[in-house]
Structure 1
């Protein structure tokens, strides 16, 4: 069985890649990491280059709320001991297209540019799919920005199917970038 937050302290995905469960004392480090890795990929979405989004989603109060959510492991991703991203899973989160099917949501996966070309995304996706299978889930799903074509293509190339489009309804995002894509992966 694949370990997750409730079972272990650190998950070694492979010899260089590890997942470190986040705790409330990790906020300053987490926030600094997100301020470093989010803007290069997503600043174009926001009039303030994403600063408000990072504060709203990763500020202290939001961070503590996220940590308190049950069955929602939240990790700092490290490569060879260096923080390069985050992974947040919602272990029992219904898929909107078929809420009766047992599902896991890959809620957040942000990686810094230094992760590219190392197989980090593929390894984390494999970990997520294996964990979902071990938990008896029948599908894994996620939501990503349509404008982030490389990420959408990454998931599609690994067998994810189109679950439809919708619009981001949160505050402040530039209107022309509000398109979102829901993707899902069948486990059975």
Structure 2
């Protein structure tokens, strides 16, 4: 377990955590994205948080997958992928924040900022030049959060997930320059 602050910890997710991961994502994904999906997000959660996909993601050599704990309560997840090409700028000196979800009941208490500060510091110490992520265009609170951390929009793509309403397909790619 890694300590981020006096009350925030990261705990590595293992294959034995599938039930806890699925229960958590059922709880925190649906309220945030319920209006995006024709099935309220059930397909997405089932597709991403199943045994086969978890096994595959845990096998990736340069990826970290964590539960976020507030004291001893799991409140979210974070997944990072190190040395990943961005598809728009082939450069292996990028870190991708692949997922960051925090329970909406806990948001706006500075936890996301502390997690991001830790990630930015860790990536900078490892010598990475840029941190990138993808965020749904209509997730205005998330876009604003990342902009406050000096991420800039570098591209916009349209995602092609089945059951996603057309007006919610926009996704920004955002990048933060890391400085030593």
Any idea what SS the aligned residue of 1:73 has? Answer: strand
2: CA distance, partners of 1:46 / 1:142? 21
Q: 1:74 is matched with which residue: 62, 65, 76?
A: 65
Deviation, 1:100, is 2.3
Deviation, 1:65, is 0.9
Q: 2:83 is matched with which residue: 81, 85, 92?
A: 92
Q: Which segment drifts farther, 33-42 or 170-179?
A: 170-179
Query: Counterpart of 2:40?
Result: 49
Q: 1:30 is matched with which residue: 7, 15, 21?
A: 21
Query: Counterpart of 1:120?
Result: 111
2: CA distance, partners of 1:133 / 1:117? 25
2: CA distance, partners of 1:39 / 1:100? 34
Give 4+ residue runs of structure 1 displaced > 6 Å after superposition: none
1: CA distance, partners of 2:144 / 2:108? 15
Query: Counterpart of 2:52?
Result: 61
Deviation, 1:171, is 2.1
Q: CA-atom RMSD, angstroms?
A: 1.1
Segments of 5+ residues of structure 2 without an aligned counterpart are none
Deviation, 1:170, is 2.4
2: CA distance, partners of 1:174 / 1:167? 11
Query: Counterpart of 1:139?
Result: 130
Deviation, 1:115, is 2.1
Q: 1:105 is matched with which residue: 82, 96, 101?
A: 96
Q: Any idea what the Cα deviations from partners look like across 1:153-175, whole Å, max 9, x if unmatched? A: 11001111111211012222111
